[in-house]
């Protein structure tokens, strides 16, 4: 199995202060906590990290601060996706300077380019630095699918090494696992074990912000050969996964609400996102306690 960035990656939230400023001390604290509890990689400035509302300078500062905190104990993958190829290439170079180990790149959103333009976009970003790339296929947010045949062509590029799969096309993912050497990471927490069981590398998980050791335990248990217990662990996490990711609020909102309730760094979300209400937060905390105390 190819594991260019590790197996258990957390799509880390970006902590802010109560006034909405970037909280670098909080980011270092949270990153250290996540690594200590089973994460072997961190994805910064992705969807969960509120990348649309952080500046280029904040993205670089976040990478540098987390690199300082975790040293070589974990990989750092920098989300650099924008709707502009030139801007994305600039962010790639800045991420490399700041200390990232890899890049997470979405297809350009809003303009909805055709597949040949998406392929050219990824190739230009891959050629902008010496860092390995993880393609991020999440059509529900970008409006554009990275089609399996496009991924197959991109797999020949020496620096395109992985895919974060949020396509909800499980058959397509299995076909790519059979036809390429790309590392496939589940980008939807309900698929963590399923994709791993058919040859996936691991996950890039939002829910790992709040239950990093439990999700790591699913993979570790599967690796021991106790697949029945691994399935039970995945199933036990399902109510919390659903509440965080599929209950009508963005995962960033629910994750930050739960982290704050757990006294871990998070802070507010940036507009246009709005914070979770008390009832939602109490429900999340109840589910978390049920999972972690039994």
Which tokens in the block code for residue 144?
Answer: 């554009």
Q: What is the pTM of this model?
A: 0.97
**Residue 1, pLDDT above cutoff 70:** no
> Does 268 map to a domain?
no
> Does 287 map to a domain?
no
- Find the catalytic residue in 97, 109, 110, 164: 164
- Find the catalytic residue in 59, 109, 136, 196: 136
- The CATH number of residue 26's host domain is 3.20.20.70
Taking phi over 0 as left and psi of -120 to 50 as alpha, with beta for the rest, 71 belongs to: left
Is 136 part of the annotated catalytic residue set?
Answer: yes
Is 164 part of the annotated catalytic residue set?
Answer: yes
Instruction: Give me the mean pLDDT over the 211-239 stretch.
Output: 98
Number of domains composing the chain = 1
Kindly calculate the radius of gyration of the chain based on its CA atoms and give it in whole angstroms: 18
> Does 265 map to a domain?
no
- pLDDT at position 294 is 74
**Residue 121 burial (10 A CB sphere; 0-12, 13-18, 19+):** buried
Distances (CA, A) of 40 to 104, 151, 250: 16, 25, 25
Distances (CA, A) of 243 to 34, 176, 179, 286, 289: 21, 30, 35, 11, 13
> In which domain, by residue range, is 195 found?
8-217
> Does 294 map to a domain?
no
> Does 261 map to a domain?
no
SS3 state of residue 143? coil
Tens digit of pLDDT for each residue in 56-73? Answer: 999 999 999 999 999 999
**Residue 197, pLDDT above cutoff 80:** yes
> Does 122 map to a domain?
yes
> Does 209 map to a domain?
yes
- pLDDT at position 167 is 95
> Does 266 map to a domain?
no
- pLDDT at position 24 is 98
């Amino acid at each position: 199995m190819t594991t260019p960035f590790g197996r258990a990656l957390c799509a880390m939230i970006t902590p802010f202060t109560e006034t909405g400023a970037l909280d670098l001390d909080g980011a270092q604290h949270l990153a250290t906590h996540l690594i200590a509890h089973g994460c072997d990689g961190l994805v910064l400035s992705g969807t969960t990290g509120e990348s649309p509302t952080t500046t280029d300078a904040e993205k670089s500062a976040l990478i540098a601060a987390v690199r300082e905190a975790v040293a070589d104990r974990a990989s750092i993958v920098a989300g650099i996706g924008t709707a502009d190829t030139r801007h994305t290439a600039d962010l790639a170079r800045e991420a490399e300077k700041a200390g990232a180990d890899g890049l997470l790149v979405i297809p350009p959103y809003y303009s909805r380019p055709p597949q040949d333009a998406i392929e050219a976009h990824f190739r230009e970003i891959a050629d902008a630095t010496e860092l390995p790339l993880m393609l991020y296929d999440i059509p529900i947010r970008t409006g554009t699918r990275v089609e399996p045949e496009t991924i197959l062509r991109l797999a020949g590029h020496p620096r395109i090494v992985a895919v974060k799969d949020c396509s909800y096309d499980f058959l397509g993912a299995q076909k790519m696992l059979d036809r390429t050497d790309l590392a496939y990471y589940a980008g939807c927490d309900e698929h963590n074990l399923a994709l791993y069981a058919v040859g996936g590398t691991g996950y890039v998980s939002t829910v790992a912000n709040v239950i990093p050791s439990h999700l790591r335990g699913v993979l570790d248990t599967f690796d021991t050969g106790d697949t029945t217990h691994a399935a039970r662990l995945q199933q036990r996490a399902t109510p919390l996964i659903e509440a965080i990711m599929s209950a009508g609020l963005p995962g960033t909102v629910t994750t930050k609400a739960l982290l704050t309730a757990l006294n871990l760094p998070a802070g507010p979300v940036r507009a246009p996102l709005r914070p979770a209400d008390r009832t939602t937060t109490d429900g999340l905390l109840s589910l978390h306690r049920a999972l972690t105390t039994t």
